[in-house]
Amino acid sequence: MSGLKQELGLTQGIGLLSTSLLGTGVFAVPALGALVAGDNSLWAWPVLIVLVFPIAIVFALLGRHFPSAGGVAHFVGMAFGPRLARVTGWLFLSVIPVGLPAALHIATGFSQALFGWHDEQLLLAELGTLAMVWWVGSRGASTSANLQTLVAILVMALIVALWWAGDITLARIPFPPVAAVDTSQLFAALSVMFWCFVGLEAFAHMASEFKHPERDFPRALMIGLLLAGAVYWACTVLVLHFHAFGENVAAATSLPSIVVTLFGVKALWMASVVGFLACFASLNIYIQSFARLVWSQAQYRPRSYLAQLSPRLIPRNALNAVLVCCVLSTLCIYTLKINLEALIVYANGIFIMIYLLCMLAGCRLLKGRYRALAVIGGALCLMLLAMVGWKSLYAIIMLAALWLFLPKRKIAENHRQAG
């Protein structure tokens, strides 16, 4: 069995991770953080990066030593066996019916702002976006990486242009003194901002496609994390400087409103295009990572449709299957008029649970101070589950249900016995 093509370099990896972390959040989360914490939100970003660092380092180390298209499921399998690996994989895949249609809806919302599209027009835009993901994914990981590196450059260029046009200098940034920081507001901002750093688990599926995974994967993960954090902080400075937030102001309109203030209404297309591309980049890496997970999970039957690679060594069949699920979910949600905002909160609990399982795998697979980091990361994940509250029960119930009811792989067992 041939493996996936190793074609990613350091710069491409940084582009993949940074855009996966920025996604829709770069337009909305700085305004949400400013709303709950005001100037204190400027301290929340560096604090959050420090808190996420142990989790990121564990992901980086596991991806460095055990690169696999299976991502977290592979790490969990090495630590706790194939049963929990399958459960973890299916837990991640359970996000598809809810999380991806929600991301699609947010991405095409920029076309609504730009062209005034509604209803069937937005549905066609969502299906067209999925077709774009298929085209990009069918051309290999390097095409996705090059596109997303370009998107990261466009996002940073937009922020730099806004800082320049707004005449923002370090002296004009309203950094409150450390002694004056309101800790209750700081924690409230952290709970909102954490979702910006959901994306590490998707990036882990790309580890085996780096030319030098042991060297470049951890570097790309850590640099991409810092780069995304810097962009979020810079956006927060803009939102506070122009007071582009409020209870009666939609968070996603904060940056577009600043663009209009500085460059006029005619420049609104610029913010809309960059916003769509940022959402598309995040959506793309998730769908590509889902495809790689499906392919890796199908390897127990190497001749099956989903286990096959294209001549370019791309899991195209698995990508097709994931996109069919996305199309069906999108059509069902459109037909039944399901409230995605209510459902996406439950999907967030799934992501935290996957992070927790990765940290537990790190406790088992890593040694010394790195094991201590995995313990700290696990404690942080438990704290985040508690912050989600009773809605985290969805993730716990899903994990238990998959463990109890996921069928055993008799073919795989017979194959091992024959071997």
Residue range 281-302, pLDDT digits in tens: 888 988 999 999 999 888 888 8
Categorize the per-residue pLDDT at 418 as very low, low, confident or very high, splitting at 50, 70 and 90: very low
Could you tell me which of 32, 50, 38, 26 has the C-alpha nearest to residue 240?
38
pLDDT band at 248; cut points 50, 70, 90: confident
Query: Given a cut of 50, is residue 411 above it in pLDDT?
Result: no
Distance (Å, rounded) from C-alpha 100 to C-alpha 22? 16
Say whether pLDDT at 363 is over 90: yes
Residue 340 pLDDT grade (very low, low, confident, very high; cuts 50, 70, 90): low
User: Contact, 369 vs 375, CB < 8 A?
Assistant: no
Q: Which of 219, 191, 188, 192 is nearest to 203 (CA)?
A: 219
Tell me the mean pLDDT in the region 73-87.
93
Dist CA 240 CA 255 (whole Å)? 11
State residue 409's pLDDT score: 66
The closest alpha carbon to 362, from 14, 18, 64, belongs to: 64
Highest mean pLDDT among 65-69, 197-201, 342-346, 363-367: 363-367
pLDDT at 118 exceeding the cut of 80: no
Mean pLDDT, range 220-227, rounded to an integer? 92
Question: Given this model, what pLDDT does residue 341 score?
Answer: 61
Higher pLDDT, 321 or 340: 321
Average pLDDT over residues 186-207: 82
Cα 356 to Cα 22: distance, rounded to the nearest angstrom: 22
pLDDT of the residue at 121: 83
Please say if the pLDDT value at position 348 is more than 90: no
Band of pLDDT at residue 4, cut at 50, 70 and 90? confident
Which band of pLDDT confidence, cut at 50, 70 and 90, is reported for residue 179? confident
Percent pLDDT > 90 in the chain is 34
As a whole number, mean pLDDT of residues 130-156 equals: 90
Q: How confident is the model at residue 113 (pLDDT cuts 50, 70, 90)?
A: low
What domains can you pick out in the chain, each with its CATH number? 10-298+305-405 (1.20.1740.10)
How many angstroms separate the CA atoms of 326 and 332, rounded?
A: 10
Per-residue pLDDT for 415 more than 70?
no
Letter for the amino acid at 154?
L
Is residue 374 over pLDDT 90? yes
* pTM, entire model: 0.84
Could you give the residue ranges of the DSSP H alpha helices within 23-119? Answer: 25-37, 41-65, 72-80, 82-93, 96-115
Whether the per-residue pLDDT at 414 is higher than 50: the answer is no
The pLDDT, as a whole number, for residue 344 is 66
Mean pLDDT within 336-340 = 73
